[in-house]
Amino acid sequence: MITVNAMGDNCPIPVIKTKKAMQEITGPETIEVLVDNEIAVQNVTKMAVSSGGNVTSEKLGEKEFKVTIQMNGAVAKEAGEEAVCTPDRKGDTIVVIASDKMGSGNDELGKVLIKGFIFAVTQLEELPKAMIFYNGGATLTAEGSDSLEDLKSLEAQGVEILTCGTCLNYYGLTDKLEVGSVTNMYTIVEKMAEAGKIIQP
């Protein structure tokens, strides 16, 4: 395990430090990068993915984020994107998820599809501004969900993760929320009304 401390560093320093650590490894290795802002998470993530890394990220606290990069081996010196500062990747799209399944037909297949959908959101060039979960979708942000790693990665990159409080209470999950924050119907309506585009799987 290699730890890169880029807390307090302005762009492009976190990317440069991470790239240097990646180029020094000789075999399979895990690199943890600590940064203090969402834009740094986005920039480090983009560079690491372009270099062949498997990347996840997590918000540890206010202005405290961890990006974990799994590398299979050494990286070519010229690999990866240049250490540049890119603007915030978030647009004004809202993703609304109302079920723990995607589509109708086979429930088991539906659960596989919704997990794949959430992972696909993490790969978008322009991330959504927020993701809202209600009714059965509320279970996806709670303990036991297969999508927690992907949702925590999105949250670390600045995507607002909101779950209906009434729904959590109905399913007995009020104390089991694992990512994002609890919201109410007024905020859900407000967010959807302000959105430039709404995606609902």
The one-letter amino acid at 94 = I
Tell me: the pLDDT tens digits for 134-177? 999 999 999 999 999 999 999 999 999 999 999 999 999 999 99
Domain(s) labelled CATH 3.30.110.40 in the chain stretch across 2-71
Domain(s) labelled CATH 3.40.1260.10 in the chain stretch across 93-199
The CATH code of domain 93-199 reads 3.40.1260.10
**Stated pTM of the model:** 0.81
Tell me: the pLDDT tens digits for 25-58? 888 999 999 999 999 999 999 899 888 899 999 9
Active site residue 85: no
Beta-ladder partners of 73: none
The CATH code of domain 2-71 reads 3.30.110.40
For residue 113, which of 103, 99, 124 has the smallest C-alpha distance?
103
Tokens coding 176: 């089991």
Q: Are 140 and 151 in contact, with CB atoms under 8 Å apart?
A: yes
